[in-house]
Structure 1
Amino acid sequence: MRVFVAGGTGVLGRRLVPRLVARGHQVTATTTSVAKLDLLRRLGADGIVMDGLDAMSVGEAVAKARPDVIVHQMTAISVAHAGKPDMKHMDRWFAGTNRLRTAGTDHLLAAAEATGVTNFIAQGYAAWNGLREGGWVKTEQDGLDPMTGTPAEPGMAALGHVEDAVGKAGGTVLRYGWFYGPGATEDLVEPVRKRQFPVVGSGAGHCSWVHLDDAASATVLAVEQQAHGVFNIVDDEPAPAAEWLPYLAASAGAKRPMRVPAWVARPLAGDVAVTMMIEGRGFSNAKAKRELGWQPSYPSWRRGFAKELA
């Protein structure tokens, strides 16, 4: 198929594009930088510069590529675009990504409609942001936490927009877990090594992880099967922070994370980080396994962390 990957030079795009090419697909991938066109060529794609927030730029790029499927992987959370990760001010950290998940999604859907593309896949998120009621592990039928009144609220609203708009268009949303792997692990590990990432309170809040290569393999399956609906793309082991964080530190050769009470952490780290640590909900991958036939090569973050940080 002719596959249009919007956001081909992101951490997932760089793992996804070569897999699609290896499967025999003709890939057109976008970047916002002329300097990254060579990278896309090396990955096997036809590169094109596109501004995901400009409807005309998006429309022209899609029309030129004439794709059979559009894959929306546009974000702006790299250090180059958004600075260092900052959960305390998540509204500022995710401002660019939120625009790409609202206006950018709308522009891509409009371009898909204009060119007759019915196979549309978009990036969602399912790590710790399940609805904070009931059990610790959520399915696709469970809603995402709106995080009302916190700096994460705009981001959760943007994710809701993706699921609503893409769902109405008959497309697919892949709710990826917390990424780790090449290009994603170091930003996570740096604060752990500096002992700036403590276990807060009980550490009972759950999180779901996914290795970038597993996220890419699931995306290829969704492309080839022309899947529809919402899928949680996470590993087999949603786990509480009190388990995964010390294991991550040990894998990285760092000292054991400190444990601090919520009242100490809140003014320093913010409401979102405290909520994630204490009340976060993880996700089940049963639907993706059942309907896509997906099997993660890293079924547990334990194996993945140990390999990536060896």
Structure 2
Amino acid sequence: MHVFVAGATGAVGRLVVPLLLDGGHQVTGISRSAAGVERVRRQGAAAVQADAFDPEALAEVVAGAAPDAVIQQLTDLGDADAEATDRLRREGTRNLVAAAKAAGVPRIVVQSLCWAYMPGDDPADETVPLDTGAAPPRAGLVDGVEAMEAAAADLETGVLLRYGILYGPGTWYAPGGQAAAALAGDPGARFIGTVQADESVISFLHVADAARAAVAALDWPSGPVNIVDDEPARSREWVPVLAAALGVPAPEPTAGRQTWARGASNALARSRGWRPEYPTWRTGFAAQGA
């Protein structure tokens, strides 16, 4: 299969490319920068420079590649700009889907997220609706996810991978990342999220498991699938473990929770044969610094 990877140099995309090549697939990856293009080529894949916000250029490179499937791993989180990230989900995905549709590509696998569900007390499965009635600023995130997933559904097959909070190399939760800076009280930390040790429930996912799911999803049917580890956890449980792994002080536990922070179930993904190699953040946090 010829797979077109958008976001080939991101934290997940850079792992997806070699997995695809090892599986015998032909790969074309795109990057916004010349340095990113060179990085993809060094991995052994074809690479082109293109911007997801440029629909004409994107249509040209997708048509030129003529892939059998597209994997979307687009992110814009380096500067912790939530609005830019929401725009990329909405407009970047729409442009990518339009380019794929024009080129006759039937399948797309999209990086979505699992914390856009409606509030609740139990880990969400895929039947739980998105939190479309959320107030700002959460509304921007949910609206972006809804638009991204709706765009993907415009192709014959659109698989929506609702990832947990990503950790591991290249993420904010890696040693030296923005989560460590936030935990250490650095006022300059650029971090979208929280490291408050309260009752909010979070589901995590190692980037290596995210990449494996993206490749496996090339054979999955349309629709959303939660890709998370086996242990949704209260922040007051995981924050001290992360702090210890990063070598920074842990904050004091606090009461209360964000009602939407409920975690997610990976039962559907497991029923399709996916298993996380890092089944719990308890050991995964420490392993990422090894």
TM-score (norm 2): 0.90
Residue identity opposite 1:163 in structure 2:
E
Unpaired runs of 5+ in structure 2?
Answer: 188-193
**1:172 to 2:159 alignment:** yes
**1:233 to 2:221 alignment:** no
- How far the C-alpha of 1:72 sits from its partner, in A, is 1.1
Q: 1:188 aligns with which of 155, 179, 183?
A: 179
% identity of equivalent residues: 38
Q: 2:236 matched to which residue of 1?
A: 242
Provide, for residues 222-269 of structure 1, a one-character-per-residue CA deviation record: whole Å limited to 9, x for no partner: 12x14321110100001110111111112222223134567xxxxxxx
Unpaired runs of 5+ in structure 1?
Answer: 86-92, 263-273
Residue identity opposite 1:220 in structure 2:
V
- How far the C-alpha of 1:16 sits from its partner, in A, is 0.9
Q: 1:100 aligns with which of 88, 93, 99?
A: 88
Counterparts of 2:103 and 2:220, CA distance in 1 = 17
Q: Is the 8 A contact 2:182 2:195 kept in 1?
A: no
- How far the C-alpha of 1:295 sits from its partner, in A, is 0.7
Q: Is the 8 A contact 2:159 2:221 kept in 1?
A: yes
Task: Call closer, same or farther: CA 1:215–1:175 in 2, change over 3 Å.
Answer: same
Q: 2:190 matched to which residue of 1?
A: none
Q: 1:206 matched to which residue of 2?
A: 201
Counterparts of 1:192 and 1:136, CA distance in 2 = 27
Q: 1:131 matched to which residue of 2?
A: 118
Task: Call closer, same or farther: CA 1:125–1:285 in 2, change over 3 Å.
Answer: same
Counterparts of 1:40 and 1:179, CA distance in 2 = 21
Q: 2:48 matched to which residue of 1?
A: 48
Q: Is the 8 A contact 2:116 2:145 kept in 1?
A: no
Task: Call closer, same or farther: CA 1:250–1:147 in 2, change over 3 Å.
Answer: farther
- How far the C-alpha of 1:147 sits from its partner, in A, is 6.4
Residue identity opposite 2:196 in structure 1:
V
Counterparts of 2:255 and 2:215, CA distance in 1 = 42
Q: Is the 8 A contact 2:118 2:260 kept in 1?
A: no
TM-score (norm 1): 0.84
Q: 1:163 matched to which residue of 2?
A: 149
- How far the C-alpha of 1:77 sits from its partner, in A, is 1.1
Q: Is the 8 A contact 1:195 1:255 kept in 2?
A: no
Report the secondary structure of 1:137's partner residue: coil
**1:289 to 2:274 alignment:** no
- How far the C-alpha of 1:148 sits from its partner, in A, is 2.4
Query: RMSD of the TM alignment (CA)?
Result: 1.9
**1:304 to 2:290 alignment:** no
Moved over 4 A (4+): 195-198
Q: 2:27 matched to which residue of 1?
A: 27
Q: Which structure's residues are more often helix, by fraction? A: 1
Q: 1:269 matched to which residue of 2?
A: none
Counterparts of 1:107 and 1:279, CA distance in 2 = 30
Counterparts of 2:49 and 2:185, CA distance in 1 = 38
